[in-house]
């Protein structure tokens, strides 16, 4: 049944908005659960949901130190895509795409998934070749992809500077038509409501401050709302991963925390009906349903736990935006914000059992964890329930760094700011 139907909006508008049901409960923590998930971001919530739905495990608590959605799930630029090159990545992200395509129905919550396509622009002949290779690899693995000529681009993205005198002349592009955007808050709220209805306790304002241990085994967590014991502890804290693992006595992980900024402009009339990424630097841009241009670029490039960034990146992102879309020069910037990114050393995520007994780790999402939210939850829930990796995330275990089987999609090496 549609709980947020047009009829309900109308009826509640006339009755002082008193008829809405609470979306999720505010329970008191129990002393013991089967699984405690640390982090109420998209990945933690999706994990709880799939633990309940796919594995029948519902005695689960999510400990979130702030309010639900206060982390990167509510701070990203909402791009969803599966346009990867390497075998370890493509099936995982394509599974995520398929889950996205049914997510609003699955959760009975409109996550506003809009398959408006993503276009990667190319500015050199070598980049065109490289991009065509990625497109071919995608098609071989069953993912939609098509090369675009400048003439196609002129029709598809009229605001783009395609002149020969452009600062970064555009030679073509690659489109993934099924890619797009989704409403990030709705994804968190949708998973939260669906998990709560299946019995999961969402504990907001419940900061994990330490781990309870029995020798090498993790047996629970100390929190700002008391101690909670559990058979299994799943860590899903994105940019706070190193800090969290330090509480467990693990000093070294192939993860660095960096701030990534995002920007939104004042609302404009329809200007851009797809997502565009710039191949000459680092910029991704789309237009939200409210009309604002939503865009971002590189991480700030220094380690930080601050949820705000610095001016050099602002300047760089603005100059790239104006170079691509000269008409944007007159647009006013409305807001900017930052999120703490869990940058892995090969640019690929980690979904794994361990590193301690009783512990499970999900992190390393770099710039791209929003689009992975459904598949991450799906595979992490499998890992927790079965104590073994899901076949789609088997390449993402932590031991790849010991074995030398890193998945370096961009071939950038251990340089987090380049992934």
Contact with ligand FAD (CB under 6 A) among 76, 274, 277, 348: 76
From the list 166-174, 194-202, 239-247, 397-405, the region that binds ligand FAD by CB under 6 A is 239-247
C-beta of 119 vs 236, nearer to ligand FAD:
236
Place of tokens 């073994």: 388
C-beta of 57 vs 294, nearer to ligand FAD:
294
What 3-state DSSP class applies to 122?
strand
Residues 318-347 that bind ligand FAD (CB under 6 A): 339, 341
From the list 48-56, 134-142, 234-242, 384-392, the region that binds ligand FAD by CB under 6 A is 234-242
Q: Which tokens hold the place of 12?
A: 């509640």
Q: How far apart, in whole angstroms, are the C-alpha atoms of residue 47 and residue 372? A: 12
> What residues contact 72, with CB distance under 8 A and at least 6 apart?
41, 42, 238, 239, 339, 340, 341, 365, 369, 370
Q: How far apart, in whole angstroms, are the C-alpha atoms of residue 41 and residue 397? A: 21
> What residues contact 10, with CB distance under 8 A and at least 6 apart?
none
Q: Is 236 in the site for ligand FAD (CB under 6 A)?
A: yes
From the list 20-28, 160-168, 259-267, 323-331, the region that binds ligand FAD by CB under 6 A is 259-267
Residues that contact ligand FAD, how many (by CB under 6 A): 40
What 3-state DSSP class applies to 363?
strand
Place of tokens 């960034």: 309
Contact with ligand FAD (CB under 6 A) among 70, 110, 303, 319: 70
- Decide: residue 315, CB within 10 A, 0-12 exposed, 13-18 middle, 19+ buried: exposed
Residues 100-139 that bind ligand FAD (CB under 6 A): none
Answer for the pair 64, 44: CB distance below 8 angstroms, yes or no. yes
Terminal-residue alpha carbon distance, the chain: 42
Q: Name the residue among 326, 332, 322 with its Cα closest to residue 264.
A: 332
From the list 48-56, 97-105, 151-159, 258-266, the region that binds ligand FAD by CB under 6 A is 258-266
Contact with ligand FAD (CB under 6 A) among 29, 48, 77, 233: 77
Q: How far apart, in whole angstroms, are the C-alpha atoms of residue 266 and residue 184? A: 19
Q: Please, what is the minimum distance in Å from the beta carbon of residue 183 to ligand FAD? A: 12
Answer for the pair 363, 355: CB distance below 8 angstroms, yes or no. no
C-beta of 171 vs 257, nearer to ligand FAD:
257
Q: Is 260 in the site for ligand FAD (CB under 6 A)?
A: yes
Q: Is 292 in the site for ligand FAD (CB under 6 A)?
A: no
Q: CA-CA-CA-CA torsion for 318, 81, 1, 68, nearest 10 degrees?
A: -60
Contact with ligand FAD (CB under 6 A) among 51, 61, 73, 138: 73
Cα 313 to its chain centre, rounded Å, is: 21
Mask of contacts with ligand FAD, 12-51, x by CB under 6 A?
--------------------------xxxxxxx-------
Q: Is 64 in the site for ligand FAD (CB under 6 A)?
A: yes
- Phi/psi for 110 (5° steps) reads -75, 105
Q: Please, what is the minimum distance in Å from the beta carbon of residue 296 to ligand FAD? A: 5
Q: Is 63 in the site for ligand FAD (CB under 6 A)?
A: yes
Place of tokens 């959760």: 107
Contact with ligand FAD (CB under 6 A) among 49, 57, 65, 194: 65
Q: Is 278 in the site for ligand FAD (CB under 6 A)?
A: no
Q: How far apart, in whole angstroms, are the C-alpha atoms of residue 294 and residue 311? A: 18
Residues 343-372 that bind ligand FAD (CB under 6 A): 365, 367-371
Q: How far apart, in whole angstroms, are the C-alpha atoms of residue 115 and residue 250? A: 41
Interstrand relation of 217-223 and 226-235 (parallel, antiparallel or unpaired): antiparallel
Give the number of residues written for the chain: 419
C-beta of 171 vs 272, nearer to ligand FAD:
272
Q: Please, what is the minimum distance in Å from the beta carbon of residue 187 to ligand FAD? A: 9
Answer for the pair 325, 265: CB distance below 8 angstroms, yes or no. no
Q: How far apart, in whole angstroms, are the C-alpha atoms of residue 122 and residue 133? A: 13
From the list 77-85, 99-107, 126-134, 402-410, the region that binds ligand FAD by CB under 6 A is 77-85
From the list 82-90, 171-179, 237-245, 406-414, the region that binds ligand FAD by CB under 6 A is 237-245
Residues 136-175 that bind ligand FAD (CB under 6 A): none
Q: Please, what is the minimum distance in Å from the beta carbon of residue 41 to ligand FAD? A: 2
C-beta of 104 vs 344, nearer to ligand FAD:
344
Residue ranges binding ligand FAD (CB under 6 A): 38-44, 63-66, 70-73, 75-79, 207-208, 236-240, 244, 260-262, 296, 339, 341, 365, 367-371
């Amino acid at each position: 049944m549609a709980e947020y139907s047009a009829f309900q909006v109308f009826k509640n508008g006339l009755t002082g908005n008193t008829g809405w049901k609470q979306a999720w409960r505010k329970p008191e923590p129990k002393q013991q659960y089967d699984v405690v998930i640390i982090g109420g971001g998209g990945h933690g919530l999706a994990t709880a949901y799939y633990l309940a739905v796919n594995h029948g495990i519902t005695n689960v608590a999510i400990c979130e130190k702030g309010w639900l959605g206060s982390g990167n799930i509510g701070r990203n630029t909402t791009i969803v895509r599966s346009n990867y090159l390497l075998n370890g990545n493509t099936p995982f992200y394509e599974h995520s795409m398929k889950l996205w395509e049914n997510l609003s129905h699955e959760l009975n919550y409109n996550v506003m998934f809009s398959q408006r396509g993503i276009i990667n622009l190319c500015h050199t002949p070598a980049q065109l070749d490289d991009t065509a290779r990625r497109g071919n690899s995608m098609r071989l693995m069953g993912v939609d992809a098509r090369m675009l000529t400048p003439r196609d681009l002129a029709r598809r993205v009229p605001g783009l500077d395609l002149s020969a005198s452009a600062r970064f002349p555009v030679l073509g592009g690659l489109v993934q038509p099924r890619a797009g955007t989704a409403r990030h808050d709705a994804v968190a709220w949708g998973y939260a409501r669906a998990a709560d209805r299946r019995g999961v306790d969402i504990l907001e304002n419940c900061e994990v401050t330490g781990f309870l241990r029995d020798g090498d085994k993790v047996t629970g967590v100390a929190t700002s709302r008391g101690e909670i014991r559990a058979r299994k502890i799943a860590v899903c804290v994105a940019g706070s991963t190193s800090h969290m693992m330090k509480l467990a006595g693990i000093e070294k992980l192939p993860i660095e925390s960096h701030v990534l900024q995002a920007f939104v402009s004042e609302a404009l009339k329809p200007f851009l009906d797809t997502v565009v990424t710039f191949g000459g630097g680092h910029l991704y841009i789309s237009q939200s349903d409210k009309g604002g241009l939503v865009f971002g670029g590189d991480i700030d490039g220094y380690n930080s736990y601050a949820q705000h960034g610095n001016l050099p990146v602002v300047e760089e992102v603005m100059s790239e935006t104006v170079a691509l879309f000269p008409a944007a020069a007159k647009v006013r910037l409305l807001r900017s914000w930052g999120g703490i990114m869990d940058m892995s050393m090969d640019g690929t995520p980690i979904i794994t059992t361990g590193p301690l007994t009783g512990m499970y780790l999900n992190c390393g999402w770099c710039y791209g964890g929003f689009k992975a939210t459904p598949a991450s939850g799906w595979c992490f829930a499998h890992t927790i329930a079965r104590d073994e990796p899901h076949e789609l995330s088997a390449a993402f275990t932590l031991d790849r760094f010991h074995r030398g089987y890193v998945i370096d999609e961009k071939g950038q090496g251990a340089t987090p700011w380049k992934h």
